[in-house]
Amino acid sequence: MTHQKIISVNINTADVEKDLGYKEFEFGLLNDYLDEGYTVKEKISTVSNAAGLFCINLTFILEKHTNK
């Protein structure tokens, strides 16, 4: 049997630390599912094309195979 989860993460790139030029962070919910044995089947990234927005959306399709 296969179980799937879809996680969508929105990142505002305008909120980047100015002195470093980048910002590191973890996705808690995504990490929890990976710890439970899910794997990333697919990752889709999209960038906002609206003027003045600096957002990236990452969508992760997770999959876990079980014997049940």
DSSP SS3 for 58: strand
The answer to whether residue 16 scores a pLDDT higher than 70 is no
Quickly list H helices, the chain: 28-35
Q: Report d(CA 33, CA 6) in Å as an integer.
A: 10
18: confidence class by pLDDT, cuts 50, 70, 90: low
The answer to whether residue 5 scores a pLDDT higher than 90 is yes
- Tens-place pLDDT, residues 22-66: 777 788 999 999 999 999 999 999 987 777 677 888 999 999 998
**Edge-to-edge strand list for the sheet holding 39-47:** 2-12, 55-65, 39-47
Predicted local confidence at residue 15, as pLDDT: 66
> pTM score, two decimals?
0.77
Q: In whole angstroms, what separates CA 59 from the centre of its chain?
A: 5
Domain locations in the chain? 2-65
